[in-house]
Amino acid sequence: MAECIFCKIIKGDIPSRKVYEDDAVLAFDDISPMAPAHVVIIPKKHIATLMDVDAKADITGKLIAAAQQVAEIKQVAESGFRLAINCNADGGQVVFHLHMHLLGGRKLEDQLG
Ligand code: AMP
Ligand code: ZN
| Residue 110 counted as domain residue | no
Q: How far is it, in rounded angstroms, from Cα 68 to Cα 88?
A: 25
How far does the centroid of ligand 1 lie from the alpha carbon of residue 95, in Å?
A: 7
pTM of the complete model: 0.97
pLDDT of residue 1: 67
| Residue 111 counted as domain residue | no
| Residue 113 counted as domain residue | no
| Ligand 1 pocket test target in 14, 17, 31 with most atoms within 8 Å of CB | 31
Q: Give the residue numbers spanning the domain of 12.
A: 5-104
Residues serving a catalytic function are 99
Tell me the C-alpha to C-alpha distance, in Å, between residue 40 and each of 26, 85, 111: 8, 10, 21
| Residue 13 counted as domain residue | yes
- CATH number assigned to the domain comprising residue 85: 3.30.428.10
| Residue 112 counted as domain residue | no
pLDDT of residue 110: 86
pLDDT digits (tens, 9 = 90+) for 6-50: 999 999 999 999 999 999 999 999 999 999 999 999 999 999 999
**Does residue 34 line the site of ligand 1, with CB under 6 A?**
no
Query: How many domains is the chain built from?
Result: 1
How far does the centroid of ligand 1 lie from the alpha carbon of residue 69, in Å?
A: 20
Is the Cβ–Cβ distance between 97 and 47 less than 8 Å? yes
| Residue 71 counted as domain residue | yes
